[in-house]
Amino acid sequence: MILEGIMTTLDAAGEVSISPMGPIVDEAMRELVLRPFKTSRTYVNLKAHGEGVFHVTDDVWLLARAAVSKVDVETVPTRTVRGRVLAGACRAYEFRVIDVDDADERTFLQAEVVATHRMRDFFGFNRAKHAVVEAAILATRTALLDRTEILAEFERLAILVEKTGGDAEHKAFDFLRNYVEHAPSPDKTE
């Protein structure tokens, strides 16, 4: 099963990278299969030292911002690995990469969970929160997909946000739509 959440990794200088990630997980959350692109900071950081933290959160505003921009949020120290835990997350899973297959553009990193944090109850997802998660994924694809196609999907998702969203969902969705509307068009000549 793929579980959408937020990944933190550290670069060589110890700076935190915060990025959405949807690893394949087992129900017991003992193992993660991470699939970052080789061009991502997450891949570079994990390739360098192989440790990070995967977070489960219901904060779609954070997820939206992390998808398309650098964010600065409160973190706390990890217990076992070199990394940082998002203070506002519901749960966090410290992990170590145990196997790497980077033969393709999108890599496969097998990781084992070595420590678990439970900070607060998961509020839950309504249809608007799900729509924001889908919009965040689409926003990360502006270099790969036609903007018209992405914005058409945003129109479909907007109905869910309008009907069931609160302030955070509206703010996150509008932020992502604005990002897509102003993102550079992919170069179709290559």
pLDDT for res 186: 64
- DSSP 8-state assignment for residue 141: T
pLDDT for res 106: 84
Rounded distance between C-alpha atoms, residue 147 and residue 96, angstroms = 37
Look up tokens 């290559």; give the residue.
190
By the 8 A CB rule, do 157 and 131 touch?
yes
pLDDT for res 189: 40
pTM exceeding 0.75: yes
Return all residues near 33 (Cβ < 8 A) that are at least 6 apart.
Answer: 23, 24, 25, 108, 109, 110, 111
Summarize pLDDT for 108-144 with one digit per residue, the tens. Answer: 999 999 999 999 999 888 999 999 999 999 999 998 8
pLDDT for res 190: 38
Q: What residue ranges of the chain have pLDDT lower than 70? A: 186-190
pLDDT for res 148: 93
Look up tokens 């998002």; give the residue.
86
pLDDT for res 125: 80
Collapsed DSSP state (helix, strand, coil) of residue 13: coil
Domains and CATH numbers, the chain: 5-118 (2.30.110.10), 127-182 (1.20.58.290)
